[in-house]
């Protein structure tokens, strides 16, 4: 009997250790990635002057390492995508959660999930073969491979994320809020606009943040359709010209760069920049969620 | 004077869970009418039929007639699909079992209904806020912090805020579905006191959360059991001299 108990105890301890090590290894891997990024990227700051890094020309072969065209390209494509995806995504979420009849909801929800699982290469291909020629003809552009094309496709990629997170948030607004607003003589639309959406505000914001995060990190699609010209975006007109994002630069050039060279280090510096941006977006998003949790705790108490 | 007349009202839910059969009853104006009975008797369903909140639920069939006699002499056929539900709900307001504060400030909660009804003048809104809070016996407690979020109030205060929110609309009928079920005795007595205060100007229909509460506040009482109206009587009669054995058993606490 005594042996049996000690065996049980050993087994218990073994499982606890396994779970603990799985948890700690996740932290370890993130730290390792971070260490690797820093150790490969930071030397660039010593090798290239800050003045050169803040230049407007990205010609690594001639040792011009200006990052501004890449940053502006990323910003332009991402902001464009956000401006397109947010209204459509939130609008669709409101429709699915509040307006659509049950049978439509039952078709739309899985459909959105499927859309979210579409590989970005496939979307890129569609953009390359169909969207960009159509844009070139209809908007009378020199080329259909523009920042705007990238924005449209990135919007298509982030919309499913926005819809499903925002829809969850709207869905979790208590039924009683709607009853209360309706019982006060609000119309259905007034209830959605003034009560349901504000009540789900934090979740809807999180949806937006996750959508933006998705758009910033996306590589394949933008590389296929934005034309990849590292030109500084200094006017709105540049939206309809080719552009180059930070992600696409890393993906396109990492394969042919000499390991340990200046160019190699600068590419990792761009990686650090991307890492920082997505860190900021994620921290902001979780801060918003945290605030929401505190609010709901206060309501429940 | 009859405020609402319910005739041969039937209601069945899609899942068959609960239904009302052949309900005929008159609800008198400017008095507190109480619907009592054990859970699942259809009291809330009947209450929610009076301002058509049942539209939101899975109702399979509704028949019969419910008429509201408005103060302006107009008669509204509540169940008629042509009836303007939004206008109806401004006349027939509702307070729910759990206090539901909208995600707005205290003042915002009170003015919400008026604003969606199109009232914009600040002085009128301000008057409505003070008047309704005083009627709901909440004014003294919150007058200095009208702009704080309503969610910061205690449960009892929130429920009185919900009552005030209904009163701000100056409806003709107020429906209350177990309004004190989540409240402590002191808050409960405050809510009951303000109901006594306002019943001179409003028609009140209350689903109480206990027989004792029903006996305390009822001007008229109706007993429901499993979807049927067993008995209705004015004043304390239902509690002192019930004619039906089942009513007697219920009010004396033998079941329920």
**Residue with the larger pLDDT of the pair B225 and B60:** B225
Q: What is the pLDDT of residue A266?
A: 92
Confidence of residue B130 (pLDDT cuts 50, 70, 90): very high
Note the pLDDT tens digit of each residue in B156-187.
899 999 999 999 988 999 999 999 887 889 88
Q: Which residues of A touch B176 (CB under 8 A)?
A: none
- The ipTM estimated for the assembled molecules is 0.75
Chain A environment of B86 (Cβ under 8 Å): 185-187
Which pLDDT score is estimated for A28?
A: 95
Q: What is the pLDDT of residue A265?
A: 92
Q: Report DSSP state, residue A258.
A: P
pLDDT in tens, B213-239: 988 999 999 999 988 999 998 878 888
The reported pLDDT for the residue numbered A6 is 67
Instruction: Give A16-77 as a DSSP string.
Output: HHHHHHHHHHHHHHHHHHHHHHHHHHTHHHHHS-HHHHTSS-EEGGGTEE--HHHHHHHHHH
Distance CA A93, CA A169 (A): 9
Contacts of residue B58, Cβ cutoff 8 Å, sequence gap at least 6: B13, B14, B15
Check residue B205 and give its pLDDT: 95
Residue B111 has φ and ψ, to the nearest 5°, of -90, -10
CB contact under 8 A, A194 and B56: no
With CB atoms and an 8 Å threshold, state whether B89 touches A177. no
The partner residue sitting opposite A198, judged by closest CB among B98, B103, B169, is: B103
Residue A83: per-residue pLDDT: 93
Percent of chain A scored above 90 by pLDDT? 26
The shortest CB-CB distance from B53 to any of A183, A195, A295 is to A183
- Gap between the Cα atoms of B18 and B40, Å rounded: 7
Cβ <8 Å between A179 and B98: no
The nearest alpha carbon in chain A to B164 belongs to A184
Q: Report how far Cα A291 is from the mean position of its chain's Cα atoms.
A: 21
Beta-carbon-side half-sphere exposure of residue B14 (alpha carbons within 13 Å) = 6
pLDDT at residue A37 greater than cutoff 80: yes
Dump the DSSP string for B64-94.
EEEEEE-TTS-EEETT-TTS-HHHHHHHEEE
The interface residues of chain B toward chain A in range 57-96, judged by CB-CB distance below 8 A, are 86-87, 89-90, 93-94, 96
pLDDT-derived band at A294, boundaries 50, 70, 90: low
Backbone φ and ψ of B122, nearest 5°: -65, -40
| Mean pLDDT computed over every residue of chain A | 86
Alpha-carbon gap: A90 to the closest alpha carbon of chain B (Å): 19
Residues of B in contact with A180 (CB under 8 A): 94, 96, 100, 102, 162
pLDDT in tens, A225-268: 888 888 887 877 888 888 889 999 998 888 888 888 889 999 99
* Average pLDDT estimate for B10-15: 83
pLDDT at site A293: 60
**Residue B163: its chain A contacts at CB < 8 A?**
none
Cα dihedral angle (A259, A264, A269, A273), rounded to 10 degrees? -100
Please determine, for residue A175, whether its predicted confidence score (pLDDT) is greater than 90.
Answer: no
- Which pLDDT belongs to residue B129? 92
Structure tokens of B57? 């639920």
Instruction: Kindly list the domain boundaries of chain A, sorted by start residue.
Output: 2-41, 50-300
CB–CB contact B51 A199 (8 Å): no
Show Cβ contacts of residue A136 under 8 Å, excluding neighbours closer than 6 positions.
A142, A143, A144
CATH of span A50-300: 1.10.3720.10
CB contact under 8 A, B113 and A184: yes
Nearest to B112 among A187, A194, A201 (CB): A194
Rounded to an integer, the average pLDDT of A270-298 is: 77
Q: For position A295, what pLDDT does the model report?
A: 58
Neighbours of B162 (CB within 10 A): 28
Q: Nearest to residue A154, comparing CAs of A208, A85, A204?
A: A85
* Mean pLDDT, residues A128-142 taken together: 88
């Amino acid at each position: 009997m005594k042996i049996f108990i000690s065996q049980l105890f050993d087994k218990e301890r073994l499982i606890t250790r396994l779970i603990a090590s799985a948890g700690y290894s996740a932290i370890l891997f993130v730290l390792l990635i971070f260490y690797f990024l820093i150790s490969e990227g930071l030397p660039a700051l010593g090798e290239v002057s800050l003045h050169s890094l803040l230049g407007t020309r990205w010609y690594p072969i001639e040792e011009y390492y200006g990052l501004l065209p890449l940053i502006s390209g990323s910003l332009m494509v991402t902001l464009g995508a956000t401006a397109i995806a947010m209204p459509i995504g939130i609008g669709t979420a409101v429709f699915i959660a509040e307006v659509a009849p049950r049978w439509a909801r039952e078709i739309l929800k899985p459909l959105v999930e499927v859309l979210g699982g579409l590989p970005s290469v496939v979307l890129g291909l569609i953009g390359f073969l169909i969207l960009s020629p159509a844009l070139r003809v209809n908007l009378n552009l020199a080329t259909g491979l523009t920042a705007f094309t990238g924005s449209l496709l990135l919007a298509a990629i982030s919309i499913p994320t926005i819809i499903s997170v925002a829809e969850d948030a709207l869905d979790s607004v208590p039924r009683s809020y709607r009853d209360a607003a309706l019982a006060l003589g609000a119309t259905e639309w007034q209830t959605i606009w003034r009560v349901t959406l504000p009540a789900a505000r934090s979740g809807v914001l999180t949806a937006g943040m996750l959508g933006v995060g998705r758009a910033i990190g996306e590589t394949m699609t933008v590389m296929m359709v934005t034309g990849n010209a590292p030109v500084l975006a200094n006017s709105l007109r540049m939206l309809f010209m080719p552009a180059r994002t930070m992600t696409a630069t890393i993906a396109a050039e990492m394969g042919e760069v000499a390991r340990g060279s200046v160019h190699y280090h600068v590419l990792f510096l761009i990686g650090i920049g991307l890492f920082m941006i997505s860190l900021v977006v994620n921290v902001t998003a979780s801060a918003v969620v945290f605030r929401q949790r505190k609010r709901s705790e206060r309501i429940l108490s | 004077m009859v405020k609402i007349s319910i005739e041969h009202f039937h209601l069945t839910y899609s899942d068959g869970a609960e239904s009302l059969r052949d309900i005929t009853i008159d609800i008198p104006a400017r008095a507190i009418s109480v619907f009592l009975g054990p859970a699942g008797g259809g009291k809330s369903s009947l209450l929610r039929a009076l301002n058509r909140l049942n539209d939101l639920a899975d109702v399979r069939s509704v028949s019969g007639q419910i008429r509201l006699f408005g103060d302006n002499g107009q008669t509204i056929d509540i169940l008629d699909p042509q009836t303007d539900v939004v206008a109806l709900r401004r006349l027939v307001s509702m307070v729910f079992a759990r206090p539901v504060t909208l995600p707005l400030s205290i003042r915002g909660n009170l003015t919400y209904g008026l604003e969606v009804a199109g009232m914009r003048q600040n002085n009128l809104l301000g008057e409505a806020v003070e008047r309704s809070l005083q009627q709901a016996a909440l004014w003294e407690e919150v007058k200095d912090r009208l702009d704080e979020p309503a969610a910061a109030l205690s449960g009892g205060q929130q429920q009185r805020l919900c009552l005030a929110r209904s009163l701000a609309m100056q409806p003709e009928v107020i429906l209350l579905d177990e309004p004190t079920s989540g409240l402590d005795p002191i808050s409960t007595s405050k809510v009951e006191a303000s109901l006594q205060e306002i019943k001179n100007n409003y028609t009140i229909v209350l689903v109480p959360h206990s027989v004792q509460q029903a006996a305390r506040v009822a001007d008229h009482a109706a007993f429901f059991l499993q979807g049927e109206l067993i008995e209705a009587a004015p004043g304390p009669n239902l509690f002192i001299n019930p004619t039906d054995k089942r009513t007697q058993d219920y009010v004396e606490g033998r079941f329920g």
